[in-house]
Amino acid sequence: MSKFVHLHTHTHYSLLDGLSQIDPLIERAKKLGMDALAITDHGNLYGAIEFYKKAKAAGIKPIIGVETYVAKRSRFSKEPHVDAERYHLTLLVKDKEGYHNLIQLVTKSHLEGFYYKPRIDKELLERHFKGLICLSGCFSGEVAKMLRAGREQEAEDAVEYYHNLFGEDYYLEIQSHTPELHKAMTEFSRKYDIPLVATQDSHYPTREDAPIHDILLAIQTNNKIDDEERLTFKDHDASFRSAEEMEKAFKDLPEAI
């Protein structure tokens, strides 16, 4: 069995989106025999210190990260119906410089880029990318969004941009609930020699927690549980999976584990 490390994990600090609290999350990682773990909350570092201290105490290597929101244009652009669109990008701390840079990015996303969500932009990223590992993001990432819209050239342009910026610290992120993107991501991986990395986009500890998480999403979107058009994760498993489950989900792309 391969070692697997969760690199895309939401805690309850992903407000009204993540259900996992720090203590149960670390306990589950420990139970599953994992020796490292990342948390990547939406646009914030609220849980970073608590997570770092508790993970270290439990003998688990803590990897501090954020799932950032990247403005489609400038972080200063706040035009209605245009700048509400944004891209997700997963950033992980590699070293002390990276931690300081991530603090800069998160702080400025709130103080300068806030428009519905705390947003960074590429100009800011170019100033504060050192010491960070970049994953291309979930299905709401720029590459994935362009692919889903049938805009393959723009997806490739985005891959080239991030690869040129981050170099060997850039990875193409794939998730089991978006298999339709795997072919294109694999082609980009081969063409540009960029490694694939499998992530889970975990929002709750176990599958039994899914109904509770669904209530949380309904609160976030101001909907009722029986509203058919609301945001829901019912179509995919967003639990904190075991290494065996991840291996099975990516049996066709074992190099991504």
The pLDDT score that the predictor gives to residue 2 is 63
Q: What distances in angstroms separate CA 226 from CA 21, 126, 229, 231, 232, one per listed residue?
A: 26, 44, 9, 11, 11
Tell me the per-residue pLDDT of 12-61, one tens digit each, with 9 for 90 and over. Answer: 999 999 999 999 999 999 999 999 999 999 999 999 999 999 999 999 99
- Farthest CA pair distance, the chain: 50
198 torsion bin: left (phi>0), alpha (psi -120 to 50), beta (else): beta
Tell me the per-residue pLDDT of 135-189, one tens digit each, with 9 for 90 and over. Answer: 999 999 999 999 999 999 999 999 999 999 999 999 999 999 999 999 999 999 9
- Measured at the CA of 69, the angle between CA 68 and CA 74, to 5 degrees, comes to 125
Residue 1 pLDDT > 60: no
pLDDT band for position 214 (50/70/90)? Answer: confident
pTM here is 0.95
Q: pLDDT above 90 covers what percent of the chain?
A: 87
pLDDT band for position 227 (50/70/90)? Answer: confident
Nearest-10 Cα torsion for 25, 173, 149, 184: -140
Q: Where are the domains of the chain?
A: 22-256
Which tokens belong to 150?
A: 């049938």
> Within a 10 A sphere around the Cβ of 149, how many other Cβ atoms?
10
Tell me the per-residue pLDDT of 106-137, one tens digit each, with 9 for 90 and over. Answer: 999 999 999 999 999 999 999 999 999 999 99
Instruction: Read off the amino acid at residue 61.
Output: K
Tell me the per-residue pLDDT of 67-82, one tens digit each, with 9 for 90 and over. Answer: 999 999 999 999 998 9
> Within a 10 A sphere around the Cβ of 50, how many other Cβ atoms?
15
- Domain 22-256 sits in CATH at 3.20.20.140
Of the candidates 174, 208, 251, 126, the one whose C-alpha atom is nearest the C-alpha of residue 8 is: 174
Q: Under 8 Å CB-to-CB from 178, ≥6 apart: which residues?
A: 138, 139, 144
Higher pLDDT, 107 or 213: 107
pLDDT band for position 222 (50/70/90)? Answer: confident
Phi then psi dihedrals of residue 30, to 5 deg: -65, -45
